Amino acid sequence: MTKQQTNNPLILSTWSFAPVGADAAMPLLLAGGEALDAAIGAVTVIEDDPTIHSVGVGGLPDAEGRVSLDACVMENPDRCGAVCNVQRHPNPAAIARRVMDTTIHITLAGDEADDFATREGFVERALLTPDAQREWQTWRHDPSNINREKYQGWLPPMNVEEMDSKVGAPGGVFAGDGPDGSHDTVGVLVLDTHGKIAGACSTSGMAFKVPGRVGDSPIIGQGLYVDQTAGAACATGTGELISGVCGSFLVVELMRRGASPLEAIRETLQRIIDRFTLVQDHQVAMLAMTPTGDWASCAIRPGFHHTVTTSEGSKVEDPHGVMLPE
């Protein structure tokens, strides 16, 4: 576990792609800005980066080639918002905040979430980049993918000529959603100079998912949970595993009962290991922070890195623990 100096702002993020967002958000905190603004600011930069294939613009699409985005933001049980299956707007975390600020609801989903965003002045944008479309084509061309049991029976027949005519021959190899070299949900936890904590979580979800699938990321208590009286946690990795144990809520509740951030994550990941039959590409990693900024990260498998950002800049580091190192 790592201790934070009082009043020093801190941004913790999942994955090594996070410095681009966290470095942009840190000046806001150093100027006395609020944790939630910084969390959403960091995530928004990452959502706008088309080279990150798991969040926002450039995210890998579902099995039918459509990109859909999920996100949530949170300060407290009575201060949270979420959107699921957004297909026309690049910044779901900011839309989630607008849901929180301007409606009596917590979560909006699907076309209606996009309609809400348009009414609120968010600009529509195509989310599928040529790179992501090529990755999808490669996946659709590979019989070992499309013949997998989970896709049989509903995946529409592939019209290879039509796909090729859109973007040319498939190229490039997607590394997969596995533990090595993967990029996944961005989860950000922030402590501001006023001693307030907040978080944001954003994803394009599992690559080539069944259309309509929603993972853990936009669900309060699964991909993210924050309570000023107990702490904050966020998750990345295979959403179904995180959802099944309400991962982020569990971590925060364990901290409320006295566990350290690392103990709380370890117990939560052990629950996943005990209650699921894990396969090789299953991975979950989590970050946790106390209300005073003590924090830790831990993953089920090797390959995960977190980014820690202070007034001195960002560092990409190994997690404090790995549950299944081999």
Binding site for ligand GLY (CB under 6 A): 184-185, 203, 205-206, 215-217, 236-239
Q: Smallest gap, in angstroms, from Cβ of residue 256 to ligand GLY?
A: 24
Q: Which is nearer to ligand GLY, 28 or 284 (CB)?
A: 284
Q: Which is nearer to ligand GLY, 219 or 289 (CB)?
A: 219
Q: Smallest gap, in angstroms, from Cβ of residue 195 to ligand GLY?
A: 29
Q: Smallest gap, in angstroms, from Cβ of residue 222 to ligand GLY?
A: 9
Q: Smallest gap, in angstroms, from Cβ of residue 254 to ligand GLY?
A: 20
Q: Smallest gap, in angstroms, from Cβ of residue 74 to ligand GLY?
A: 16
Contact between 37 and 55 under an 8 Å Cβ cutoff? The reply is: no
Contact between 55 and 127 under an 8 Å Cβ cutoff? The reply is: no
Q: Which is nearer to ligand GLY, 92 or 237 (CB)?
A: 237
Distances (CA, A) of 197 to 5, 29, 162, 232, 233: 14, 12, 49, 7, 10
Sheet with 321-322, side-by-side order of all strands = 224-227, 231-237, 284-289, 295-299, 321-322
Of 14, 44, 129, 185, which is the active-site residue? 185
Torsions phi, psi for 208 (to 5 deg)? 60, 30
Sheet with 107-109, side-by-side order of all strands = 107-109, 79-86, 69-76, 197-203, 186-191, 10-14, 306-310, 313-317
Alpha helices in the chain (DSSP H): 19-30, 35-47, 92-102, 110-119, 130-141, 143-146, 160-167, 239-244, 247-256, 261-275
290 assigned to active site: no
Shortest CA distance to 83 belongs to which of 122, 132, 26? 122
Q: Smallest gap, in angstroms, from Cβ of residue 215 to ligand GLY?
A: 2
Which SS3 state, helix, strand or coil, does residue 279 take? coil
Give dist(CA 242, CA 193) in Å, integer: 31
Q: Smallest gap, in angstroms, from Cβ of residue 177 to ligand GLY?
A: 8
Q: Which is nearer to ligand GLY, 217 or 314 (CB)?
A: 217
Give dist(CA 71, CA 84) in Å, integer: 7
Q: Which is nearer to ligand GLY, 65 or 205 (CB)?
A: 205
Q: Which is nearer to ligand GLY, 47 or 192 (CB)?
A: 47
Q: Which is nearer to ligand GLY, 29 or 300 (CB)?
A: 300
Contacts of 213 (CB under 8 A, 6+ apart): 62, 205, 206
DSSP for residue 220: B
Distances (CA, A) of 213 to 63, 180, 206: 10, 24, 9
Question: Which residue numbers are catalytic?
Answer: 185
